[in-house]
Structure 1
Amino acid sequence: MSSTNTIHNILVVDDMASNRYILRSLLEEAGYQVLEAADGQQAVEAVARATPDLILMDINMPVMDGYEACRRIKQQQGLWGLPIIFISANSDVSALEQAFQAGGCDYVSKPFHQLEVLARVQNQLRLRELGRQQAKLQLYQGLFQLTAGIAHEINTPVGVGITASSLIQGAGDLLANAVKNGVLGQRLLNQQLTDIKEGTELVESSLRRVALLITRFKELTRDQKEQEARPFAVKECIQQMLQAFSPELQIARITPHFEGSEVTMTAPEPLFVDLLQELLKNSMDHAFHGNREHSITVQIAQNEGSLLLVYQDSGPGMPADKLPRLFEPFFTTMRGNANHCGLSACRIHNLVENNLRGSVNVTSPPGEGLRYEIRLPLKPVT
């Protein structure tokens, strides 16, 4: 039994009632709760109703064998880490290799030996608990770092706003006293009005930055909501997005270039559109300065069940020493600018890897701007 007082649920899957009886007896004697299934199909249905802590799965069964049942269970949302121990009288290396490839984590041999079964079950439950603890630790560490970043980013403009409001109040008090004492002159009036104007501008700038941060935080929160995956035409989607941005592109003197044939992708289309818009807005905010012609290039291709999306702008790019920090929350090369909070690239990374289950690699060839190489699965990853 595990070192904690938790009672673990174990699903035993075997087409032989005698085998299920033996395993149930020795597991219940050790303090585990046991559920049973007579074939792979029943196991898949049982897991869909209630997730056990571990599965003991026979390989050779009618209706659906253990390999297929294991694969189907692992494909269910959030169950890739569910430990499945295979049961087999076959010690053939190829059979065991196939079991591990299907997603199994260990195996026990027939006829059953009580100590072996219990040792392997306890070991897998301990490993899973350690994995959960490590995941919680990483989650807490990430949460603490993000919270500290949020506090710092909001505290800075709030502090500036408080200081500026104190200056405004001080200037107002000085003018009020001057009027009261009949000593208000043109020079003092102009000086204090200038201070009030500058203080007001600082307050407005600080509030705008706080509002921008809150908007970006809301976008990141919205991205976490589950959205339905539906088939859509990628080329058509990109062309519509570029058309929608046409006025802004013309004003900024940016010429878009698109290459690629039609590809059908099954995913939440609004998230894909958000990704495209974030890439484009990031270029417009950071890459294009000065009154000259600029360009962006979007390329798509289908490769081994994935969509390859390449996005590149003609901006100055990013220094090699700063590029590894591109996706860090609040990192920006335009620090001090109230219109940039350093969450754009972070959201791009989040949309690609967390929402669309893909991968992104960014390079900055000298004189060629930023180049994003993004791979996205054409069908949902479960």
Structure 2
Amino acid sequence: MFDILIVDDVAENLQMLQLILKCPRFRIRAATSGHTALQLIENQLPDLIITDIKMPNMSGVDLCRLLKADKRTNHIPLMFVSAYTDTDNIVEALEVGGVDYISKPFRPAEINARVNTQIKLLEANALQVKRQLSDALNQMVVGVAHEINTPLGTGITAASHLFGVIAELTKEFENKTLSQNLLADLLIQSNESIELCERSLSRVAEFVNLLKTISKAEAPAQPGMCDLVEVFKQLISQYHFDETGVEIKLMSEHSVLDVTLDANLLQLVMGNIIEDSINHGLVDKKGPIEIILRANEQEIEIHYVDNGIGLIDITIEDLLKPFVTSRRGNSGHVGLSTPVAANIISGALQGGYTVRSTERGIEWIIKIPMMRLR
């Protein structure tokens, strides 16, 4: 069932349109003003809005502008009702985002034809979205299966080998034929198998944790006052040079940058970007990673360069797709870090970014607006 909202300050027009559009497929709601319509839309989003152009206090054009400026409602198609000769207003209505218009006096056949056209478009769009979701789900399932099965398979192989080593050790011990050299060799093989099992299971655990972060891209931000420089110092402290072999240099115009944003989400974003560089872009070339911070009253800017190998055989568009590795042949890269970071920047943090592959490796320029405290 499709939800249609009709907005008109003339009760007779509302009644007439409701009668014309009465159909089991449609749920019709009515509002006598733009303000009332906004309240109804807030309670439940309609599939289609039909609004008169000329109304007191808030015209149909004004209503359309408000809805198109709101991310939650800008996808809803709006049809306008106007006198047949009101050409200027019809043009303005279409320019602000209207998809069609209904002329007065009402002609039922024309109204039904125009409304049904919009409904068919909605059905086609819904089908397309469903197909895209299905394709994305299939890609996700294949990607998840691959990223989990690969380390699990390695771990199972290592465990099986360890089982064989223990069996041989037990047999030689029971037969009293266990030499010192054989014992040393079997212990080395055991340690190697255990280490391989541990690395494989750790990869699975890291991948599962990364999957959990995907939902945070859609979660609302929780902004607060913080020192941007300190936020990055805390993040960088997690990456020890003696473990990663990668130096991370932090540069800022000022020693303290007081900003208003969600520090946890920002650390999640930059952590994913840094992890991608360390695990992937800096395999053959060891940085240093350089991060430059700037801020003004409106936004913060982060300039990130990893001084790595950049991209090989793929494009930036591929880099932003889930489960695409940023260098062919590196099976250790799970292919989700960059898409997660990009989604959080443009989603919860309401910012923007550019990313490119240069002679200095992967380069990000991230701009995030200051957020209002809740």
Please, what TM-score do these two structures have when normalized by structure 1? 0.83
CA deviation after TM superposition for structure 1 residue 36, in Å: 1.8
Q: Give the match for residue 26 of structure 1.
A: 20
Paired residues of 1:249 and 1:255 also in contact (CA < 8 A): no
2:338 aligned partner: 345
Matches within 5 A, 1:232-271: 237-245=227-235, 247=237, 251=241, 252-259=246-253, 268-271=262-265
- Give the secondary-structure state (helix, strand or coil) at the position aligned to 2:98: coil
User: Aligned pair 1:371/2:363, yes or no?
Assistant: yes
Matched, 1:43 2:41: no
- Partner amino acid, structure 2, of 1:207: L
Q: State how far apart, in whole Å, the 2-side matches of 1:97 and 1:308 are.
A: 40
Q: Which moved more, 1:110-119 or 1:93-102?
A: 93-102
Q: 2:197 aligns with which of 196, 200, 203?
A: 203
Cα distance per residue 1:97-135 (max 9 Å; x no partner): 321343321111111111111111101111011111111
- Find the counterpart in structure 2 of residue 67 from structure 1: 61
Deviation of 1:33 (Å): 3.6
- Counterpart for residue 288 of structure 2: 294
Structure 1 CA distance, aligned partners of 2:302 and 2:35?
42
User: Could you say if the C-alpha distance between residues 207 and 29 of structure 1 is closer, same or farther in structure 2, counting changes exceeding 3 Å?
Assistant: closer
Give the direction of change, closer, same or farther, for the CA distance of 1:327–1:36 in structure 2 (3 Å limit): closer
Secondary structure in structure 2 of the residue aligned to 1:342: coil
Amino acid at match of 1:184: L
Of 343, 355, 364, which residue of structure 2 is paired with 1:362? 355
Pick the aligned partner of 2:110 from 100, 113, 116.
116
| Structural mapping, 1:6-21, within 5 Å | 6=1, 8-21=2-15
2:227·2:258 contact (CA, 8 Å) conserved in 1?
no
User: Which of the residues 137, 141, 149 maps onto 2:143?
Assistant: 149
Percent of residue pairs identical: 29
Deviations 1:9-57 (A, max 9, x none): 3222111122222212211268644322111111111222233332210
Counterpart secondary structure, 1:240: helix
Alignment partner, residue 177 of structure 2: 183
Q: Which amino acid aligns with 1:374?
A: I
The residue identity in structure 1 corresponding to 2:364 is Y
* 1:238–1:276 Cα contact (<8 Å) kept: no
CA distance in 2, matches of 1:377, 1:86: 35
Stretches of structure 1 lacking an aligned partner (at least 5 in a row): 1-5
Higher mean C-alpha displacement, 245-254 vs 346-355: 245-254
Give the SS at the match of 1:18.
Answer: helix
Matched-pair contact (CA < 8 Å) for 1:47–1:73 = no
Once residues 77 and 174 of structure 2 are traced to their aligned partners in structure 1, the CA distance between those partners, rounded to angstroms, is: 81
> Relative to 1, partners in 2 of residues 1:243 and 1:166: Cα closer, same or farther, differing over 3 Å?
closer
User: Alpha carbons of 1:182 and 1:263: their partners in 2 closer, same or farther (altered >3 Å)?
Assistant: closer
Could you tell me how far 1:237 is from its partner in structure 2? 4.0
Q: TM-score, normalised by structure 2?
A: 0.84
Alignment RMSD: 3.3
After the TM superposition, which of the residue ranges 285-294 and 42-51 deviates more from structure 2? 285-294
- After TM superposition, list the pairs within 5 Å mapping 1:251-330 onto structure 2: 251=241, 252-259=246-253, 268-286=262-280, 294=288, 296-300=290-294, 307=299, 309-319=301-311, 321-324=313-316, 325-330=318-323
Q: What's the CA shift for 1:209?
A: 0.9
Shift of 1:290: 9.0
- Counterpart AA for 2:349: L
Q: 2:313 & 2:213 partners in 1: Cα distance?
A: 29
**Is residue 87–residue 110 contact of structure 1 (8 Å, CA) maintained in 2?**
yes
| Map of 1:99 onto structure 2 | 93
Deviates more, 1:216-225 or 1:90-99: 90-99
User: Judging changes above 3 Å, is the alpha-carbon distance between structure 1 residues 247 and 271 closer, same or farther for their aligned structure 2 residues?
Assistant: closer
Kindly state the Cα deviation for residue 92 of structure 1 after the two structures are TM-superposed.
5.0
Residues 259 and 41 of structure 1: CA distance in aligned 2, closer, same or farther (over 3 Å): same
Q: How far is 1:302 from its partner?
A: 6.7
Unaligned runs of 5+ in 2: none
Whichever residue aligns with residue 358 of structure 2, its letter is: P
Counterpart mapping for 1:53-64 below 5 A: 53-64=47-58
- Once residues 157 and 7 of structure 2 are traced to their aligned partners in structure 1, the CA distance between those partners, rounded to angstroms, is 69
What is the Cα deviation at residue 317 of structure 1? 4.1
Q: How many angstroms apart in 2 are the aligned matches of 1:292 and 1:40?
A: 60
Give 1:66 shift: 0.8
Deviations 1:272-310 (A, max 9, x none): 34223433444455556799883513254679x8x4734
Aligned to 2:72: 78
Aligned residues, how many? 365
Q: Cα deviations across residues 47-83 of structure 1 (Å, max 9, x unaligned)?
A: 2223333221001111211112223334556322222
> Cα gap change, 1:239/1:94 in structure 2, threshold over 3 Å: closer, same or farther?
farther
Instruction: Tell me the SS of whatever aligns to 1:355.
Output: coil
Secondary structure in 2 aligned to 1:104?
coil
Q: Which amino acid aligns with 1:353?
A: S
